[in-house]
């Protein structure tokens, strides 16, 4: 489960204390079982009785590519540069310690 | 002048008793003098002075924009401010300069407010002490108050005074400290589980959490989309109402803001409370509640009663599950909201070039602290396919039960609920850090976060000083979208209790000119 979570969250535990903390959090969360929720609908938003506001589909702003690109560390012309996306994270035992490449 | 309320200063500006530039410079000077509080991450001196100049022009021509024109304000560093670094006290966003203003920031600026700077917080607003940000913890100004220091002199103690300072509360501790130390007249905080009300109580200021849907969240870096609201911190209830009047209203950029016509937030001065019904939720009387806070809570209830209000005990049966429910829902939404931080378009980016996943993982490990990572991992656990029904959906069902508890109580004729805001007064930092963030958050949020689950308005009002000379605040909770009524009751209470002004002259050295009471009377009839 730990490995699965690390892969999904793309955040690592960083040690056994973090795992212990998660176990404690789950133990606390388990207390929810004691509540009788038969026939109760999940509450997603306190504003569920209202209609969601929709804007009309007109372009009123934009054209700020330059401003947005400015905030990225790696940019080529009008593109954000990302490393290859088709390589999955190595399994925990295959991982080498991270070092700047 | 800095000790005045927002409206008093506004009147002084209109009457020409002080100029926006003078006011701005006084505040900037005080910010420098109180730097050790660590309330500010960024002080936007040049911006503020330029805004002051513009405000002064307007006053000269008699065209002031309103009550906030020329008034120094501060903004929590999880609100986007165009051209000004916005960090959320995290390595992930160090150096990030947003290209736009959050709607609430824009509204303040449109009214001519002067932006003094961005205030310190717990990293990504996760915490209840303002101790877990990368720029260090915020110190509660009351640690240096005459009131607190005098009480400490009476006790024998061996430790160094300097290391025994108190936490400001969180996660909007920087904003609360900034207002409490007179460096600005109002500050924006955010409130997801109590993050505005908790530090307000610890710093002896007013902390308002508006109804969910009343104030735009556009530009507020989100934690829990279904519970976050911008919060307002001021030194008195009227000031909070003034700011709310500016911020409230539908925003087409935030579809979770309601489209109801905005009501006025000018507060009547209540003289007769006999038609009021105050509810005291019995489940809030927990064993961990300090006896001093409990006795102040009782005193407040008796105060209302003695003035003719109906004060009754009510029940919010699911209260004890509130913290658990919050744990699940908060971490789940956080897991989703933090996914946007991958280093690609903004923020910190590590040097890994091997693959996107490796780059994202390393960036996020480097950018987030333990608390944030812990919540992301917990959240991901609860939304795993095999857990979704039993944890996330279950918590959403419990949320409805909690929200219904409030609905039932308000339907039975209660106008406003009265509860403590925190378990005790502010504790020393060295004490606070003995427990982990989750434990402290659970304790810190215990009276406040059920309100966020139900989306109700609530306000913490400072009531009195504890036997240690530290502020204790009480919380009023109102019906959804009845913020004006809530604040009216809070204003009445504030007037009754006459909470003392913090005495900081000692540590501010020769700042006597800052607090001189102008002999010329300031007319408030504007």
**Is the CB of residue B331 less than 8 Å away from at least one CB of chain A?**
yes
Alpha-carbon distances, residue B248 vs B104, B221, B240 (angstroms): 9, 18, 12
In a domain, A92, yes or no: no
**Is the CB of residue B357 less than 8 Å away from at least one CB of chain A?**
yes
- B6-272+457-514, CATH topology level: Amidase signature (AS) enzymes (3.90.1300)
**Is the CB of residue B398 less than 8 Å away from at least one CB of chain A?**
yes
pLDDT of residue B155: 66
Mean pLDDT (whole number) for A59-69: 88
Rounded (to 5) percent helix, strand, coil in chain B: 45, 15, 45
pLDDT of residue A91: 61
A25 with B438: Cβ contact below 8 A: yes
**Is the CB of residue A59 less than 8 Å away from at least one CB of chain B?**
no
Strand partners, B139: B167
Mean pLDDT (whole number) for B227-251: 96
pLDDT of residue B432: 93
Contact in structure between B297 and B418 (CB atoms under 8 Å): yes
Q: Kindly indicate the confidence band of residue B191, based on its pLDDT and cuts at 50, 70 and 90.
A: very high
**Nearest in space to B235 (alpha carbons), one of B281, B304, B189, B185:** B185
Mean pLDDT of chain A: 83
Q: Is the pLDDT of residue B94 over 50?
A: yes
In a domain, A30, yes or no: yes
Give tens-digit pLDDT for B456-500: 999 999 999 999 999 999 999 999 999 999 999 999 999 999 999
Contact in structure between B192 and B223 (CB atoms under 8 Å): yes
Shortest distance between the Cα of B97 and any Cα of chain A, in A, equals 7
A89 with B352: Cβ contact below 8 A: no
**Is the CB of residue A68 less than 8 Å away from at least one CB of chain B?**
yes
A41 with B377: Cβ contact below 8 A: no
Give tens-digit pLDDT for B357-368: 888 888 888 899
Split into its structural domains, chain A has a count of: 1
* Residue from B358, B369, B391 to probe the interface with A (highest A Cβ count within 10 Å): B358
Signed CA dihedral, B36, B37, B38, B44: sign only? negative
pLDDT of residue B157: 60
CB < 8 Å from A in window 295-314 of B: none
Which one of B143, B190, B195, B378 is the catalytic residue?
B195
Name the residue with higher pLDDT: B235 or B156: B235
B384 with A4: Cβ contact below 8 A: yes
Strand segments (E) across B120-255: 186-191, 206-209, 229-234
Q: Kindly indicate the confidence band of residue B511, based on its pLDDT and cuts at 50, 70 and 90.
A: very low
Which one of B171, B211, B424, B441 is the catalytic residue?
B171
pLDDT of residue B524: 38
pLDDT of residue B509: 58
A32 with B331: Cβ contact below 8 A: no
Residue A78 is given by DSSP the state T
Kindly report which listed range (A2-6, B33-37, B277-281, B311-315) carries the lowest average pLDDT score: A2-6
pLDDT of residue A98: 45
In a domain, A6, yes or no: yes
> A9: domain range?
1-36
Contact in structure between B477 and B456 (CB atoms under 8 Å): yes
Alpha-carbon distances, residue B268 vs B239, B485, B491 (angstroms): 13, 9, 9
B226 with A44: Cβ contact below 8 A: yes
B391 with A35: Cβ contact below 8 A: no
Strand partners, B207: B233, B460
Mean pLDDT (whole number) for B279-295: 96
Sheet architecture: strand order including B277-281: B40-43, B114-119, B72-76, B186-191, B229-234, B206-209, B458-465, B471-477, B416-420, B277-281, B310-314
Shortest distance between the Cα of A82 and any Cα of chain B, in A, equals 6
A100 with B352: Cβ contact below 8 A: yes
In a domain, A46, yes or no: no
Count how many pairs of residues, chain A against chain B, have C-beta atoms within 8 Å.
185
How far apart CA B382 and CA B395 sit, in angstroms, is 10
* Start-end of H helices in B227-290: 237-247
Chain B CB contacts of A56 under 8 Å are: none
Residue B143 among the catalytic residues: no
**Is the CB of residue B436 less than 8 Å away from at least one CB of chain A?**
yes
CB < 8 Å from A in window 475-494 of B: 480
pLDDT of residue A53: 81
Shortest distance between the Cα of A79 and any Cα of chain B, in A, equals 10
pLDDT of residue B512: 44
Shortest distance between the Cα of A95 and any Cα of chain B, in A, equals 10
Q: What angle do CA B316, B317, B318 make, to 5 degrees?
A: 100
Give tens-digit pLDDT for B437-457: 888 888 889 999 999 999 999
Q: Is the pLDDT of residue B272 over 80?
A: yes
B364 with A70: Cβ contact below 8 A: no
Chain A residue with minimum CA distance to B454: A46
Contact in structure between B119 and B395 (CB atoms under 8 Å): no
Mean pLDDT of chain B: 92
Mean pLDDT (whole number) for B106-132: 96
B397 with A37: Cβ contact below 8 A: yes
Q: Kindly indicate the confidence band of residue A15, based on its pLDDT and cuts at 50, 70 and 90.
A: confident
Q: Is the pLDDT of residue A28 over 50?
A: yes
Contact in structure between B490 and B241 (CB atoms under 8 Å): no
Q: Is the pLDDT of residue B154 over 80?
A: no
Q: Residue B86: CB partners within 8 Å, gap ≥ 6? A: B77, B78, B79, B80, B93, B96, B97, B98, B118, B221
Contact in structure between B223 and B195 (CB atoms under 8 Å): no
pLDDT of residue B519: 32
Mean pLDDT (whole number) for B23-29: 96
pLDDT of residue B437: 85
Q: Each residue of B386-413: b (16+ CB within 10 Å) or e? A: ebeeebbbbbbbbbbbbbbbbeebbeee
Chain A residue with minimum CA distance to B386: A1
The predicted complex's ipTM stands at 0.85
Residue B171 among the catalytic residues: yes
CB count, 10 Å around CB of B445? 27
Residue B195 among the catalytic residues: yes
**Nearest in space to B381 (alpha carbons), one of A41, A33, A11:** A11
For chain B, the domains span 6-272+457-514
* Token pair in block for residue B425: 């007064």
Mean pLDDT (whole number) for B156-171: 78
**Is the CB of residue B515 less than 8 Å away from at least one CB of chain A?**
no
Give tens-digit pLDDT for B255-268: 999 998 888 889 99
Classify residue A62 as left (phi > 0), alpha (psi -120 to 50) or beta. left
Mean pLDDT (whole number) for B415-444: 92
Mean pLDDT (whole number) for B176-191: 97
Residue B474 is given by DSSP the state E
Kindly report which listed range (A20-29, B303-312, B392-401, B454-463) carries the lowest average pLDDT score: A20-29
pLDDT of residue B276: 96
Q: Is the pLDDT of residue B507 over 70?
A: no
Strand partners, B310: B277
């Amino acid at each position: 489960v730990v490995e699965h979570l690390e892969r999904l969250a793309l955040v690592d535990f960083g040690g056994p204390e973090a795992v212990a903390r998660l176990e404690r959090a789950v133990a606390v969360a388990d207390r929810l079982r004691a509540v009788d929720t038969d026939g109760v609908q999940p509450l997603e938003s306190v504003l569920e009785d209202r209609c969601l506001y929709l804007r009309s589909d007109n372009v009123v702003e934009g054209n700020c590519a330059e401003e947005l690109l400015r905030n990225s560390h790696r940019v080529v012309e009008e593109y954000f540069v990302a490393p290859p996306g088709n390589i999955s994270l190595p399994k925990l035992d295959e991982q080498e310690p991270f070092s700047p490449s | 002048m800095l000790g005045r309320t927002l409206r008093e200063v506004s009147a002084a500006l209109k009457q020409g008793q002080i100029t926006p530039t003078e006011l701005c410079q006084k505040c900037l000077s005080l910010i420098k003098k109180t730097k050790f509080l660590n309330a500010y991450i960024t002080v936007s001196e040049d911006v503020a002075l330029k805004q002051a100049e513009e405000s002064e022009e307007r006053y000269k021509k008699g065209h002031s924009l309103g009550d906030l024109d020329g008034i120094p304000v501060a903004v929590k560093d999880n609100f986007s401010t165009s051209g000004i670094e916005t960090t959320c006290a995290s390595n992930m966003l160090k150096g990030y300069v947003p290209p736009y203003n959050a709607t609430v920031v824009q509204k303040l600026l449109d009214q001519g407010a002067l932006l003094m700077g961005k205030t310190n917080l717990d990293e990504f607003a996760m915490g209840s002490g303002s101790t877990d940000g990368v720029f260090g913890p915020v110190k509660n100004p009351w640690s240096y108050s005459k009131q607190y220091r005098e009480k400490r002199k009476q006790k024998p103690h061996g430790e160094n005074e300097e290391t025994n300072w108190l936490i400001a509360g969180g996660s909007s501790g920087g904003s609360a400290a900034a207002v409490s130390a007179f460096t600005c007249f109002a500050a924006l905080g955010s409130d997801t589980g109590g993050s505005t009300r908790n530090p307000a109580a610890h710093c002896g200021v007013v902390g308002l959490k508006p109804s969910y849907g009343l104030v735009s969240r556009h530009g507020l870096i989100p934690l829990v989309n279904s519970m976050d609201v911008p919060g307002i911190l001021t030194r008195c209830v009227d000031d909070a109402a003034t700011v709310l009047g500016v911020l409230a209203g539908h925003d087409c950029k935030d579809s979770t803001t309601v489209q109801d016509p905005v009501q006025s937030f000018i507060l009547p001065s209540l003289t007769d409370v006999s038609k009021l019904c105050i509810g005291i939720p019995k489940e809030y009387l927990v064993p961990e509640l300090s006896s001093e806070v409990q006795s102040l809570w009782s005193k407040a209830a008796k105060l209302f009663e003695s003035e003719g209000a109906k004060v009754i005990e009510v029940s919010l049966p699911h209260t004890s599950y509130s913290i658990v429910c919050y744990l699940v829902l908060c971490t789940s939404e956080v897991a989703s909201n933090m996914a946007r931080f991958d280093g690609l378009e903004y923020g910190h980016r590590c040097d890994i070039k091997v693959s996107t996943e490796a780059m994202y993982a390393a960036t996020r490990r480097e950018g987030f602290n333990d608390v944030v990572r812990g919540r992301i991992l917990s959240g991901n656990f609860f939304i795993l396919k095999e857990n979704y029904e039993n944890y996330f959906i279950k918590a959403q069902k419990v949320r409805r039960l909690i929200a219904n508890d409030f609905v039932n109580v308000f339907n039975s004729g209660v106008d406003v609920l009265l509860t403590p805001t925190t378990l005790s007064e502010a504790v020393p930092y060295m004490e606070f850090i003995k427990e982990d963030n989750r434990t402290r958050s659970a304790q810190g949020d215990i009276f406040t976060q059920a309100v966020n689950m139900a989306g109700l308005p609530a306000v913490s009002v400072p009531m009195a000083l504890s036997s240690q000379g530290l502020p204790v605040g009480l919380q009023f909770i109102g019906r959804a979208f009845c913020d004006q009524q809530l604040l009216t009751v809070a204003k009445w209470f504030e007037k009754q209790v006459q909470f003392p002004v913090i005495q900081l002259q000692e540590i501010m050295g020769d700042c006597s000119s800052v607090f001189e009471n102008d002999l010329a009377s300031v007319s408030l009839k504007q």
